[in-house]
Each structure stands twice: as C-alpha cells, then as structure tokens.
Amino acid sequence: MHDLAAMARALECSRRTLERWREDKTFPMPGKREKLDAWVVRVRAWESSRPRRNGRVFAPEAPAKQPGQDWVGQGQRALAMMRLHNLAVQRGEYLSKKQVHEEWRQRAFAVSRMLLGLPRKLAAHVPSALAELVEREAMVITRQALQEYTRDGESTPAAAVSDEAPA
C-alpha cells in the first residue's frame, strides 16, 4: 500500500480531498498488491460516476434514521440547547414572568381606562335627549367586554405569575 501523500500526488488532489474521499463507503481502496496506476484508473472511474448537481459532486441523501436511533446525538443536542438557554438567562436576555405580567397588567389597565371613557365620548356626539341612554348602553357593553377580557383561566397573567419558580 502506498502512503497518503503519494496517492494524492498520483490523483493530482490534496491530501484532505483524498481523506474525505476515503471516508465515503463507495471509495475504491487500493489492493495490497495493486499498482498505483491501476488504482488511479479505478478512482477516476469512481469519481466520474459520483452523482453531480450543477457540475458539483454531492453526497446522496443519507437514509432517514428512525426515531430514537440516534439517542446519543439527540442527548448531545439537548444538552447544547440547555446550555445555550442557561447562558441566555445568565446574560439577562430573557424577561421573567413577573416582568411580563407587570407589563401586560399596565397595558390592560391603560386599555380599560380608554374603553371606560369611550361611552362618555360617544354620548357627547349625539343629541342631548339620547346622550344619557347612549352613555348607559355603551358603558354596559364596555364593562361586559372588559369582564370577558379579564376572565380567570389558565392563560391569564395571574395564573402565569403563580407558576413562577422562586428565585
């Protein structure tokens, strides 16, 4: 068998290219007593038969692995993602649930104030005989809408804050 440098020179390619090719399962490895020239002919035939896309050699798609088949890789990716998350938390790139809750509570309060002032503004634009009736009906509708908006449930800000882990 010849050394890697001699093989690369005979193929007129870099040693790294030859190393990459040797990782391919279909690469024709030289026989123990095979002449270098004969092996170069086999490699050239192998190289020309490789699938090409837009003039460039590409590796065919690897068969899809079944779920759970690559559990070591999945575990390593999960650990890497967890480390990235912890790093982002340490850097302060995420907001706490309390901060988000307080921000949305303030926004909800501002929206409530605007909506509760709406009936009075509407009443100012109708004849005085209807103003009281319009204001009263608009206030009832507004309060119902706000009550529906601020209902209790698992997705409300109060429920989210109660899930907050102690620091």
Q: What is the DSSP letter of 115?
A: H
How far apart are the C-alpha atoms of 160 and 86, rounded to whole Å? 21
- Residues 164 and 98 sit within 8 Å (Cβ to Cβ): yes
Separation of CA 79 from chain center: 16
- Residue 141, C-beta contacts closer than 8 angstroms, at least 6 positions apart: none
Query: How many structural domains comprise the chain?
Result: 2
Overall average pLDDT of the 11-19 stretch: 86
Amino acid 164: pLDDT: 53
80 occurs within a structural domain: no
44 occurs within a structural domain: yes
Per-residue pLDDT tens digits for 64-107: 556 656 667 777 888 888 888 888 888 887 777 888 888 888 88
Which range marks the domain in which residue 31 is found? 4-52
- Residues 8 and 17 sit within 8 Å (Cβ to Cβ): yes
Amino acid 167: pLDDT: 43
79 occurs within a structural domain: no
Residue 166: pLDDT over 70: no
pTM of the model: 0.37
147 occurs within a structural domain: yes
Q: How many CA atoms lie within 13 A of 18 on its CB side?
A: 18
137 occurs within a structural domain: yes
- Residues 75 and 69 sit within 8 Å (Cβ to Cβ): no
Per-residue pLDDT tens digits for 99-136: 888 888 888 888 888 888 888 888 888 888 888 888 88
73 occurs within a structural domain: no
